[in-house]
Structure 1
Amino acid sequence: MASQRPDGVAPVKQLPGGPGAGQLFRGFLWLGLTGFGGVLPQAQRMIVEKRRWLTTEEFVDLLAVCQFLPGGNVLNLAASLGARSRGFAGALAALAGLLAAPSIFVVALGACYQEFEGSAEVRGAVLGLAAAGTGLLVATAFKIARALPRRWAPLCVAAACCAAVAVLGCPLIVVLPVLTAVSLLLNRRVPR
């Protein structure tokens, strides 16, 4: 059990049954090696379905917090899950695992792309990867939506966000706080 620190800040609660630092590193290293175009779908599959580190509901709750924080959602998710399981060492292990292989790969791929960027085949391959990544993201969104309680409220807020940003051209920095307030109000008023 976590104790109060001398500076009065409560430390992150560590879960004794959660994954160890080595497991976190290996799991997120594999995720970094196998994912492309955003690894949220693979992260959900690894964390919830394969390794059972979190339930679907816990994953959705943690992801909701991570999406609101600045930075990449999956980076925030890795750090949060690592900290939840093994404190600072767990967060560091998860982040190191997630970033190690992709960092090397991106540098190498960038050098190759610079060499062949004018090729029609390379442009076609990049468009194909973008389409596959989009499909994975949509599939994960549907999986997550099934786990949401009172599905209509979160889906309406998500649709309003898409419409405001994509159709009306409103800046995300304005839309996010407004829809966060709306979401909180809906969450309080909608019966469970």
Structure 2
Amino acid sequence: MSKNAAPPPEEPPLNPSPGPGQLFMAFAKAGLMGFGGAQIWVRRAMVEERRWMTERDYAEVLGLGQVLPGPNVGNAAVMIGRRFAGLRGSFAATGGLYLFPLIVLISLVLLWQGFADNPDVSAFMHGLACAAAGMVIGNAFRMSGRLRPPPELIAIGLLSTLAAAWFRVPLPVIVLVLGPVSIGAVVWRMRRAG
């Protein structure tokens, strides 16, 4: 860190680790609130509301979840649940995340069959998708602002975004190429810091 950079703000101490029941309820709420992506709500529950994890802890779990096969937030639920309550915690967190949204989804599919051709319903769904995308982008800015990543990691993040969005490079190729570069940048920074 340079001499002029402000130190990151002190975070209050974390709350005691949750049990399976608490994990189920927290992830169930996130699953029900998560239209367009529950990771925003999981982060809010884990970091802001319940104070079970730091911003950095959550970012590390989510980052690992993003490079594993399967839904990012589902992978995070498994890892967070196991971290706090073992295998039972993994099942509780994952079950909470998916149970109620599954019920809502099945109900909506049954309703959708009668209204799929209605242009107002199509416009509503398009608006919902745009709102969800905005929430994901806002959450990314919020997380990056609190974590204060070093410039080289910001550059790698922008490069990976550009590769995926503009050049349509497949995610496995991006991970295989930029993953080692990112790890190298972190190791270099750690060695330089002492």
- TM above 0.5: yes
Kept in 1: contact 2:24–2:95 (CA 8 A): yes
Q: CA deviation at 1:147?
A: 3.2
Alignment of 1:147-166 (within 5 A): 147-166=146-165
Secondary structure of residue in 2 paired with 1:42: helix
AA of the residue aligned to 2:73: V
The separation in 2 between residues aligned to 1:116 and 1:154, in whole angstroms, is 46
AA of the residue aligned to 2:160: C
AA of the residue aligned to 2:132: G
The 10-residue stretch of structure 1 (18-27 or 61-70) with the greater mean CA deviation from structure 2:
61-70
State the match for 2:131 in structure 1.
132
Q: CA deviation at 1:45?
A: 0.9
The separation in 1 between residues aligned to 2:94 and 2:148, in whole angstroms, is 30
State the match for 1:10 in structure 2.
none
RMSD: 1.6
Q: CA deviation at 1:171?
A: 2.0
The separation in 2 between residues aligned to 1:70 and 1:107, in whole angstroms, is 24
AA of the residue aligned to 1:117: A
Unaligned runs of 5+ in 2: 1-15
State the match for 1:145 in structure 2.
144
Kept in 1: contact 2:27–2:96 (CA 8 A): yes
Q: Which runs of 4+ in 1 moved over 4 A?
A: none
The separation in 1 between residues aligned to 2:45 and 2:64, in whole angstroms, is 19
Secondary structure of residue in 2 paired with 1:66: helix
AA of the residue aligned to 2:85: R
State the match for 1:60 in structure 2.
59
Q: Deviations over 1:75-113 (max 9, x none)?
A: 111111110011000100111111110111111111222
AA of the residue aligned to 1:141: A
Q: CA deviation at 1:35?
A: 1.5
The separation in 1 between residues aligned to 2:66 and 2:150, in whole angstroms, is 18
The separation in 1 between residues aligned to 2:85 and 2:171, in whole angstroms, is 34
State the match for 1:30 in structure 2.
29
Kept in 1: contact 2:81–2:93 (CA 8 A): yes
State the match for 1:123 in structure 2.
122
The separation in 1 between residues aligned to 2:82 and 2:74, in whole angstroms, is 12
Kept in 2: contact 1:25–1:98 (CA 8 A): yes
The separation in 2 between residues aligned to 1:187 and 1:33, in whole angstroms, is 36
The separation in 2 between residues aligned to 1:43 and 1:150, in whole angstroms, is 21
Q: Tell me the TM-score normalised to structure 2 length.
A: 0.85
Unaligned runs of 5+ in 1: 1-16
Kept in 2: contact 1:83–1:90 (CA 8 A): yes
The 10-residue stretch of structure 1 (144-153 or 29-38) with the greater mean CA deviation from structure 2:
144-153
State the match for 1:91 in structure 2.
90
* Counterpart check, 1:110 vs 2:109: yes
Q: 1:125 to 1:151 in 2, by over 3 A?
A: farther
Kept in 2: contact 1:21–1:93 (CA 8 A): yes
Count of residues paired in the alignment: 177
Q: CA deviation at 1:120?
A: 0.9
AA of the residue aligned to 1:66: G
Q: Tell me the TM-score normalised to structure 1 length.
A: 0.86
Identity of aligned residues (%): 34
State the match for 1:175 in structure 2.
174
The 10-residue stretch of structure 1 (145-154 or 120-129) with the greater mean CA deviation from structure 2:
145-154
Kept in 1: contact 2:55–2:147 (CA 8 A): no
